[in-house]
Amino acid sequence: MSALFKSFPLSPRRAGDASLADAAFCPRCGRRADATLLEQSQNLEPHFARALQTQAPHWKPAQGACPRCVLDAAALLHQQRRAESIQHELQLPYPVYSRAETALLTTPYRMHAYPQFTGRGVVMAFLDSGFYPHPDLTKPYNRILTHVDATGKTPIERPNFRSPTLTSWHGLMTSCVAAGNGFLSDGKFRGIAYNARLALVKTGNRRGHAIHENDIYRALYWVIQQQHHYNIRVVNLSVGGDIPSDGALGVLDELVEEASARGMVVVCAIGNDNVERVVPPASAPSAIAVGGLDDRNSLERARYHLYHSNYGHGGRAVSKPDVIAPAVWVPAPMLPRTWVYNEGQYLWKLLHASDAELQKLLQTRKAENTFKKETLNLALDEIRRAIRARMIEQKYIHAHYQHADGTSMAAPIVAAVVAQMFEANPTLTPAQVETILKETARPLEHVSRAQQGYGVLNAAHAVAQALRAPHGALANLPLSPRVHSDAIEFIYYDVKAQRVAVVGDWNGWKTHAHRLHERAPGVWHGTIPRPPRGLRAYKFLVERENQMLWRGDPENLERVEDGKGDFFSLLEIRE
């Protein structure tokens, strides 16, 4: 959350202050409100609804609430957050800071990903130890273009790879972290590029030993040979070679350079040993080498820490990593039909059973085979604690998902943002992508440049700058919002939008006062008179495909949650 939010004033509760008989009123506070905005805030997330009910027990979530009330709830929730995690107190598998907010942040949400771009029309290649055609990649339609087994001397297309093996785990997770659509979580645990199409290349050797540089070379060579056949633009390599870079280019480094010269962006995990050591392919000068961030499952940058990833110099003495991205608490699907998956499903069922249901389930043969006899003789509360302890140990967050860690998970997050950038501006070159990623990254304070590269991946501004690169739809336009001496300028991009208005607290959240104008296909632009000094909240009201959408400004990094999986954008007006 933005540090600015700490000074955001709580709105006073007032009974109806409108004089128009036909006006809509907020059912919580009684103030005049726009009916469209009340509808947009119906059925807020449970913790937001509870916060709104603390001062208005009569209010029901289905009634909706005005933006001022929703901001009140956000302020109250912010005040309730502890300085330190209460994960152990609540027995959760990840850090949390309030009893009211116990969810694991989803990847697009925590990264402030540009919502209009989802990797549509972009093909990503993943080189990994193995894969699985998970429903997050194949439902409601199959986005896997090909699966290739490159573990032999000659890579062979193998469309049937449904038998789960231990080598399938890693590639399943990396591909879904980037491009899974969260099908088994109703879209919750989706990746940023969840509409991208995939070429999956099983990498390694038939002996089943560790993956070596010649194995990676063989798989990447296949990608280069098939680049134009599948129109591959992004390559993710969450695998590492054998020999630390000494500054000279090895054969795998040279191949990465060739892939880049041919127009593909190669994204590589840098490793997790917290040592000054970089191996191919991350050592290649043109590779986007990705280190790790521990965001502590929080939107507040003050909580961010560096993950224990590698760093150092690669070929031609180029410093690596280039950027860092979340490398822990990352949601990823479990491999179906494995004992971990089966146990996760079973424990999830037990944890969410009523006391009566749990009593019955614990009397079955399966329970006797899962738990020790001493455990089954405990009180139900103690048994639930034992279940939670096991879920924490195995990182279970859902019946079908775990949280995962390692720069192997950070790299596909970056690769997914690169897919967004290509969707936003297909004319980008790998060099332009690299420059944008570095220039928009946000450095962590008190962390050396050597360990974090240019800083934390800035997903929103990376895509925003791709739109402003040559041939981009927003070329020569400023980032939104831009503050002038007498006005505020807003830019919104959405090729499917039919109408767009900027709606803010400066005029009581009136929905029709400040409509933007479409100056080119999908390019919406407008200005408002400069509001009085203070911290201002606003959103865009977008009519899109005959639906009204209530959206934060994707290019404004100062934000506060809106209780619907999106944000209010914040703008500080100074003297």
Q: Hey, is 569 helix, strand or coil?
A: strand
**Is the separation of the CB atoms in 136 and 184 below 8 Å?**
yes
CA distance 162 to 428: 36
pLDDT at 194 over 60: yes
| Mean pLDDT confidence for 422-443 | 98
Q: Supply φ then ψ for residue 509, to 5 degrees.
A: 60, 45
| Mean pLDDT confidence for 60-87 | 97
Radius of gyration of the chain (CA): 25
Q: What is the model's pLDDT at position 350?
A: 97
Q: What is the model's pLDDT at position 498?
A: 96
Q: How confident is the model at residue 197 (pLDDT cuts 50, 70, 90)?
A: very high
CA distance 420 to 481: 21
Q: Does domain 115-332+404-468 have CATH number 3.60.70.12?
A: no
370-404: pLDDT as tens digits: 999 999 999 999 999 999 999 999 999 999 999 99
pLDDT at 545 over 70: yes
Q: Where is 572: in which H helix or E strand?
A: strand 567-573
Structure tokens, 327: 């490398």
| Mean pLDDT confidence for 276-289 | 98
Pairing state between β 265-269 and 401-404: unpaired
Q: What percent of the chain has pLDDT over 90?
A: 94
Q: What is the model's pLDDT at position 20?
A: 35
CA distance 467 to 291: 26
pLDDT at 320 over 50: yes
| Mean pLDDT confidence for 323-337 | 98
Q: What is the model's pLDDT at position 546?
A: 87
Q: How confident is the model at residue 3 (pLDDT cuts 50, 70, 90)?
A: very low
Structure tokens, 494: 């959405």
Residue extent(s) of CATH 3.40.50.200 domains in the chain: 115-332+404-468
Q: What is the model's pLDDT at position 7?
A: 37
Q: What is the model's pLDDT at position 575?
A: 79
- Between residues 494 and 13, which one has the greater pLDDT? 494
Residues facing 121 on adjacent strands: none
Q: What angle do CA 407, 408, 412 make, to 5 degrees?
A: 100
**Is the separation of the CB atoms in 71 and 560 below 8 Å?**
yes
Q: What is the model's pLDDT at position 416?
A: 99
Q: What is the model's pLDDT at position 206?
A: 85
CA distance 31 to 15: 6
pLDDT at 327 over 50: yes
pLDDT at 6 over 60: no
Q: How many CB atoms lie within 10 A of CB 352?
A: 10
Q: What is the model's pLDDT at position 207?
A: 82
Q: What is the model's pLDDT at position 23?
A: 56
CA distance 67 to 540: 12
Q: What is the model's pLDDT at position 18?
A: 35
- To the nearest whole number, what is the mean pLDDT of the chain? 94
| Mean pLDDT confidence for 310-321 | 98
237-272: pLDDT as tens digits: 999 999 999 999 999 999 999 999 999 999 999 999
